[in-house]
């Protein structure tokens, strides 16, 4: 089956992560996600992340730090999601290519419906923050 490589940003600011709601009608439409998209030929995953965040949110980010790679089989395709931690360098996020944007606390992430592939990321972000409070 075809393998789709994706870069997605865990965009962090003042204790919150920026999440986006996917437009209706696209793959996994209506679910919340970490902004990003598919790598194009000739691009590194970091280039891809920068391009997608500029296209989808109109922001430029500082240096992305690789966090985790998750491979997940959907019935129609297999995705390899490369998650990066990052922060906004310039710009104010606007929902150019998504239905809605929200800044949420790690503890609030479980109130939003994410694609099944994102489960381990949500768990890791919540676990990390819980640890920091100990």
Ligand X SMILES: Nc1nc2c([nH]c(=O)n2[C@@H]2O[C@H](COP(=O)(O)OP(=O)(O)OP(=O)(O)O)[C@@H](O)[C@H]2O)c(=O)[nH]1
9 touches Mg ion (CB under 5 A): no
79 binds, among Mg ion, ligand X, none (CB under 5 to 8 A by kind): ligand X
Per-position x/- string for 21-40, each x denoting binding to ligand X as judged by CB under 6 A, each - no binding: -----xxx----xxxxxx--
37 touches Mg ion (CB under 5 A): yes
93 touches Mg ion (CB under 5 A): no
For the chain, how big is the Rg over CA atoms in Å? 14
* Beta strand ranges found along the chain (DSSP E): 3-13, 16-21, 32-33, 36-38, 60-61, 65-73, 78-86, 88-90, 100-104
Rounded to whole angstroms, how far apart are CA atoms 77 and 11? 26
Task: Rule CB under 6 A: choose which of 8, 18, 61, 86 binds ligand X.
Answer: 8
Give the number of residues in contact with Mg ion, rule: CB under 5 A: 1
**Span near Mg ion by CB under 5 A; candidates 11-19, 36-44, 80-88, 123-131:** 36-44
Q: How many CB atoms lie within 10 A of CB 55?
A: 12
Q: How many CB atoms lie within 10 A of CB 47?
A: 13
Least distance in angstroms from the C-beta of 107 to Mg ion? 25
CB contact at 8 A, 11 and 17: yes
- Residue 35 is labelled as binding a ligand: yes
**Binding-site sequence positions for Mg(2+):** 36, 56
Residues making contact with ligand X (CB under 6 A): 4, 6, 8, 26-28, 33-38, 52, 79, 81, 115, 117-118
């Amino acid at each position: 089956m075809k393998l789709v490589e994706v870069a997605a940003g865990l965009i962090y600011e003042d204790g919150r992560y920026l999440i986006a709601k996917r437009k209706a009608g696209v793959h996994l439409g209506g679910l919340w996600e970490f902004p990003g998209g598919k790598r194009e030929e000739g691009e590194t995953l970091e280039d891809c992340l920068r391009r997608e965040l500029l296209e989808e949110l109109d922001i430029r980010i500082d240096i992305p730090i690789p966090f985790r790679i998750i491979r997940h089989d959907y019935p129609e395709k297999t995705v390899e999601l490369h998650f990066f931690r990052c922060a906004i360098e310039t710009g104010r996020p606007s929902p150019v290519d998504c239905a809605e944007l929200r800044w949420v606390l790690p503890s609030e992430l479980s109130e939003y419906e994410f694609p099944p592939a994102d489960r381990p990321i949500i768990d890791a972000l919540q676990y990390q923050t819980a640890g920091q409070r100990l």
